[in-house]
Structure formats: C-alpha cells, structure tokens
Amino acid sequence: MQQCPGFRVVAPDLRGYNTSDKPPRVCDYQPRVLVQDVADLIVALDAGSAAVVGHDWGGGLAWLLAMQPPSELSGW
C-alpha cells in the first residue's frame, strides 16, 4: 500500500468481486450488509474517520454509508 503524507488510501474489493469472499446467499449482498462491510473495514483499519469514495456500484454504497449516522453502524 502506497501512503501519501497524512493520508492512507485503501481500495478493497467488495464482497463477490475479484478475489474477495463470495457468500452463497443472495441476502449477503444487500446494500445494508455491503455498507456495514465498509464501516467494519474502517474500524478494522483503526482509521477513526474516513473520506469514502466509490465507483460504479461502490459509488452507491459510498452514498448510503454517508447517509447513515455513525450510531447505526456497529463499531463506530
């Protein structure tokens, strides 16, 4: 991972894409579940806060994440 001064950039694959886990149940791909994956990743990286951007389907999830109050997301 390349780091810029004062910033850390992480570009994960969403579940089901590329070499990430591919849960078998359709319900494991609900937007609220995918948004929670991103929130959990931010917590796991001990980021405290994050500027989240996304492309294509990830862009929609970034919007959904931004609309959630932190109290609605586990770990924040």
d(CA 56, CA 45): 23
Domain ranges of the chain: 24-71
Query: Does position 75 have pLDDT exceeding 90, yes or no?
Result: no
Write down the pLDDT at residue 50: 84
| pTM for the whole structure | 0.79
Mean pLDDT over the full length of the chain: 85
CA distance 10 to 1: 8
Please give the pLDDT value at position 37. 92
What's the mean pLDDT in 6-11? 84
Can you give the pLDDT at residue 47? 81
Q: What is the pLDDT of residues 15-48, one digit of tens each?
A: 988 888 899 999 999 999 999 999 889 889 988 7
